[in-house]
Amino acid sequence: MSPLRPPIASMAGYVPGFQPPDIASWIKLNTNENPYPPSPKVKEAILAELGDDAALLRTYPSASSEKLRQAAAELYGFDPSWIIMANGSDEVLNNLIRACAGEGEEIAYVHPSYSYYATLAEIQGAKVRTFGLTEDFRIADFPERYSGKLFFLTTPNSPLGFAFPLAYVEELATRCDGLLVVDEAYADFNDCNALDLVRRYPNVVVTRTLSKSYALAGMRLGLAIARPEIIAALDKIRDHYNLDRLAQAACVAALQDQDYFKKRCEQVVATRQFFVTELQSLGYAVLESAGNFVFASPPDRNGRRVYDGLYARKILVRHFSDPLLSHGLRISIGTREEIEQTLSALRDIG
Amino acid sequence: MNLCNLEALVPQYVRQFEAYIPSPPDDELQQMFGCSRLIRMNNNENPLGPPPAAAAFLQSFDPALVSRYPSGDCRPLRARLADYLGVTPSQVILGNGANEVIAFVIKAFCQQGDNIVTADRTFAVYEWIARFSGVDARLAPLNDFGFDEEGLLARVDSRTKLVFICNPNNPTGTWWSRDRLIRFMERLGPNHIVVLDEAYAEFMDQPDYPDGISLLSRFPNLIIFRTFSKMYALAGLRIGYLVGTEQVTDIVRKTAIVYSVNTLAQSAALAALGDQTFITATRSLVQEGQQMLAAQCAELKLPILTSDCNFAMIKLPFSDTLAYRLLMQQGYMVRTMTGFRFPGWIRVSIAGREAMQGFCTALSRLVHSRTDQSPLAKVYGVF
Ligand SMILES: Cc1ncc(COP(=O)(O)O)c(C=O)c1O
Ligand SMILES: Cc1ncc(COP(=O)(O)O)c(C=O)c1O
């Protein structure tokens, strides 16, 4: 059969990470999820949406996600016209490429960071350029003016955990002809963010997710904040009913329970600090992290060996075979108990 | 400061594309039209509400479940669907509604300069996604309200990657029989993908209605769409899927967005699948509703297109937008069809028995008020 689009036929496609089938009996520290359940208000809101007989589910959800936009607008201090809600931030990342980069046009991102940008760009037929990092975590060889359509900047960076200083992000905004997409999936675990740059620079877009800090990875909720013209362009090409009823209910409840949210973020950050100190005392090289994970290398710089040791003890972490990263591991911050068990496994493995 | 020039940034085919304007929420509409309650008969939703097993699962879900990512490729649900449909799990790809899988397929097969072929009056989203992706949509007029084999074939050329056949067709309810589909596939040949959108397949109760999946071994260039939004009454959860040969799904999987179906939707769909009691109950409710509508239209001498599907089209002797407004004032929301190239027609989704009775009364009142010099016409003095 012949009707393939040649670039697609040759692309690798994204394969979801391996999950052991008995995952419930594992300590799962491989995808930067939140170890805590979401706010109890989330379950209440979902049950309220379901009612006695879940009858509402027969009907399509709100196409405009108005209540979510309103809740996000209040929280972040923007007019709702500056906000679009998405089925995970993945959806809005995809739609940014769909809206801005035609076939053969270029987008760029930093390596290492979130490689799904490249997959999404390939799906749209856009060209992908990657920029490396310098020793002091700046972007290597970034041109004085970058003329690509989109530049994706993950900050805090995953998998390394560092965050770019805001002044540097701002400088990058002035050097991009297209949009600077600041992917702040982990910003809630950091002490600063780029929201103010959205107000000040017409080409800055910030994306957020509820997968990490709001413990809602399973509900697929994300958003983007940008000028209304950009939001309008994204809005018209998204699926009309991109967010389901239960996700919409969960989102509003989670965003509105800031007390719970803050408490959980503080807990994760405290556990992260504890973990970093303990890892260092085990001789690990640990990068300072602004996310809900750390990147750490054992003294022999053999990440794979430690990954296997943890795996044998039913602790799942992330190892990247990329030579830039293979010396270490990315370990998500679990509960204090999970991290203590991980530490004792690491002592055991040596 | 850097000026961001959206004109330069956004490709022309995206800029040209008009945004879809969703209908306002119920409370706003009620206020706008002065009705005390609103029955939506505009989205082809199943009035029965989801199958009991889906509702039961959701009502007792464990919140700790949702802090984890869902299965990125819906593994457990695919396994169950594969079993149910008699295919392998790798032949099934799920999406956030069937709407999302349309984009997967277009992205997998079309680049700029390619085209898709479909009917001019069918589910509009194929055409929309093609257009904002820079892909030409060639539309063959319906013939006698059905997909026209000749018209479609006449529009196919070497750049045609996909032919979308909505079977049964939304909004007309017409469908191709098995023989007709086979003849079309044979005439078209193997060099184009045919997407058979079977969003309403589970409503069909006709011996020669083709199950597209059973034709995959004969026509490996077929892709079948299905959804949990219609028969399974889970429109609110956004879950649909496609089925193809592995050769085809291995390609489409590359353009599929992973993790796009959330945890609760996956589990609810799994619980709902194959509930025959529920399907039987829905079918008989829909048949009854269709009969009621048909009888009412016969009495009012209105042309109607009925079928096994949970919607019908009715032709009015006056404008559909006017009908919309006047039906809204009585609390019934239908779909106007002018925008779908059927001026003067409305599409009505089959609702529960009581709502159908109410709608029939409202329709009859509307028609009489337009055609008689009855006192009601004076009440609705606007026309
Ligand atoms: C940097 C970054 N961006 C985006 C995402 C995707 O987030 P979501 O779950 O909202 O699709 C992730 C998830 O791991 C991420 O690490
Ligand atoms: C023919 C057809 N295909 C697909 C869909 C989309 O279904 P879903 O709700 O799964 O996105 C619809 C919905 O109205 C439809 O009528």
Q: What are the DSSP calls for A138-177, one per residue?
A: SBTT--SSB-SSEEEEESS-TTT-----HHHHHHHHHHBS
Atom of ligand 2 nearest to the CA of A60: 9
The A residues from 172 to 191 touching B (CB cutoff 8 Å) are 173-174, 176-179
A216 and A249 inside one domain: yes
> In chain A, how many domains are there?
2
Residue of A41, A53, A60 to mutate, testing the B interface (most B Cβ within 10 Å of its Cβ)? A60
Ligand 1 contact, A156 CB (< 6 A): no
CA distance B363 to B60: 42
- A32 pocket-lining for ligand 1 (C-beta < 6 Å): yes
Mean pLDDT for all residues in chain B: 94
Q: How far is CA A41 from the centre of its chain?
A: 23
Q: Does A199 touch chain B (CB under 8 A)?
A: no
For residue A202, the number of C-alpha atoms closer than 13 Å in the C-beta half-sphere is 12
Does A171 contact chain B (CB < 8 Å)? no
Q: Is A91 in the pocket of ligand 1 (CB under 6 A)?
A: no
Q: Looking at the structure, do residues A81 and A202 belong to the same domain, yes or no?
A: yes
**Cβ neighbours of B18 in A, within 8 Å:** 236
Asked if A234 contacts A94 with a C-beta cutoff of 8 angstroms, the reply is no
What tokens appear for A176 in the block?
């991009």
Residues A239 and A290 in one domain: no
φ/ψ (deg, to 5) at A32: 55, 40
The ligand that comes nearest to the alpha carbon of residue B43 is 2
A242 and A309, same domain (yes or no): no
Residue A217's closest chain B neighbor by CA? Answer: B69
In a mutagenesis test of the B interface, which of A11, A46, A47, A57 is the best target, namely the one with the most B β-carbons within 10 Å?
A57
For B190, the closest chain A residue by CA position comes to A1
Contact B47 A58 (CB under 8 A): yes
Identify the domain boundary among A257, A279, A306. A257
pLDDT at residue number A17: 67
CA torsion sign, B375 to B376 to B381 to B383?
A: negative
Contacts 24+ apart (CB under 8 A), B131-135: B131/B13, B131/B16, B131/B17, B132/A98, B132/A236, B132/A237, B132/B13, B132/B14, B132/B17, B133/A98, B133/B13, B133/B103, B133/B106, B133/B107, B134/A102, B134/A103, B134/B11, B134/B13, B135/B106, B135/B110, B135/B111
What is the reported pLDDT for B13? 83
Q: A320: domain CATH number?
A: 3.90.1150.10
pLDDT band at B383 (very low <50, low <70, confident <90, very high): very low
A280 within some domain: yes
Q: Each residue of B45-65: b (16+ CB within 10 Å) or e?
A: bbbbbbbebbbebbeebebee
- Ligand 1 mean position, distance from CA B64 (Å): 19
Tell me, what's the pLDDT at B159? Answer: 96
Q: Which pLDDT tens digit goes with each residue over B120-159?
A: 999 999 999 999 999 999 999 999 999 999 999 999 999 9
Task: Sort out which chain A residues have CB atoms less than 8 A from B251's CB and list them.
Answer: 4, 8-9
The domains found in chain B, sorted by start residue, are 22-49+276-379 (3.90.1150.10), 52-272 (3.40.640.10)
**For B269-287, what is the mean pLDDT?**
97
Three-state DSSP class for residue A243: coil
Chain B positions touching A235 (Cβ under 8 A) are 19
In this prediction the ipTM stands at: 0.96
Distance from CA of B100 to the nearest CA of A (A): 7
**Alpha carbon distance B380, B377 (integer Å):** 5
CATH of residue A220's domain is: 3.40.640.10
Q: What pLDDT was estimated at residue B2?
A: 47
Higher-pLDDT residue of B12 and B225 is B225
When mean pLDDT is compared across A2-11, A29-38, B75-84, B190-199, the lowest value belongs to A2-11
B60 touches chain A (CB under 8 A): no
Measure B227 CA to ligand 2 centroid, in angstroms: 7
Q: Are residues A248 and A122 in the same domain?
A: yes
Task: Give the pLDDT of residue A4.
Answer: 55
Structural domain range at position A201: 40-257
**Whether residues A82 and A190 fall in one domain:** yes
- Residue A52 CB-density burial (10 A; 0-12 exposed, 13-18 middle, 19+ buried): exposed
Q: Give the closest ligand to the alpha carbon of residue A61.
A: 2
Structure tokens that stand for A317 in this block: 């972490």
Q: Is residue A17 part of a domain?
A: no
* Residue A23 φ then ψ, to 5°: -55, -30
What is the per-residue pLDDT for A1?
45
Q: Chain A partners of B43 at a C-beta cutoff of 8 Å?
A: 59-60
What atom in ligand 2 is closest to the CA of residue B235?
Answer: 9
Identify the nearest ligand to the CA of B238 by its number. Answer: 2
Q: Are residues A179 and A326 in the same domain?
A: no
A63 and A192 in a common domain? yes
Query: Can you give the pLDDT at residue B6?
Result: 73
Q: Could you report the per-residue pLDDT of A45-68, keeping only the tens digit for each?
A: 999 999 999 999 999 999 999 999
Residue B1 has what pLDDT? Answer: 42
User: Chains A, B: CB contacts under 8 A, how many?
Assistant: 264
CA distances, A17 to each of A318, A319, B259 (Å): 10, 11, 11
> Considering only alpha carbons, which residue of chain A is nearest residue B54?
A54
Q: What is this structure's pTM? A: 0.95
Band (pLDDT 50/70/90 cuts) for residue B376 is low
Low pLDDT (below 50) residues in chain A: 1
Is residue A2 in a domain? no
Instruction: Report the SS3 class of residue A5.
Output: coil
The tokens for A72 are 């996000």
pLDDT tens across B315-366, in order?
A: 999 999 999 999 999 999 999 999 989 999 999 999 999 999 999 999 999 9
Nearest CA owner, ligand 2 atom 15: B199
Residue A87 Cα to ligand 2 midpoint, Å, equals 18
Q: What's residue B371's pLDDT?
A: 76
Among residues A257, A275, A292, which one ends one of the domains? A257
Position A5 in a domain:
no
Contact B10 A250 (CB under 8 A): no
How does residue B16 score in pLDDT terms, banded at 50, 70 and 90?
A: confident
How many Å apart are CA B56 and CA B124, to the nearest integer?
Answer: 34
pLDDT at B59 over 80: yes
A219 interfaces chain B, CB cutoff of 8 Å: yes
What's the pLDDT score for residue A22? Answer: 86
Does the distance separating the beta carbons of B99 and A218 come in below 8 Å?
A: no
pLDDT for B381 equals: 44
Interchain pair B254, A8: CB under 8 A? yes
Integer distance in angstroms from the first to the last C-alpha of chain B?
56
**What's the rounded Cα separation, in Å, for the pair B114 and A311?**
48
Does A220 lie in the same domain as A119? yes
- Residues A210 and A266 reside in one and the same domain: no
| Range 46-85 of A in CB contact (< 8 A) with B | 46-47, 50, 53-64, 66
Q: Does B320 touch chain A (CB under 8 A)?
A: no
State the pLDDT confidence band at B21, using cuts at 50, 70 and 90. confident
In a domain, A149, yes or no: yes
pLDDT surpasses 60 at B296: yes
Q: Which of A225, A257, A289 is the last residue of a domain?
A: A257
In this complex, which of A42, A59, A103 lies closest to B134 when CB atoms are compared?
A: A103
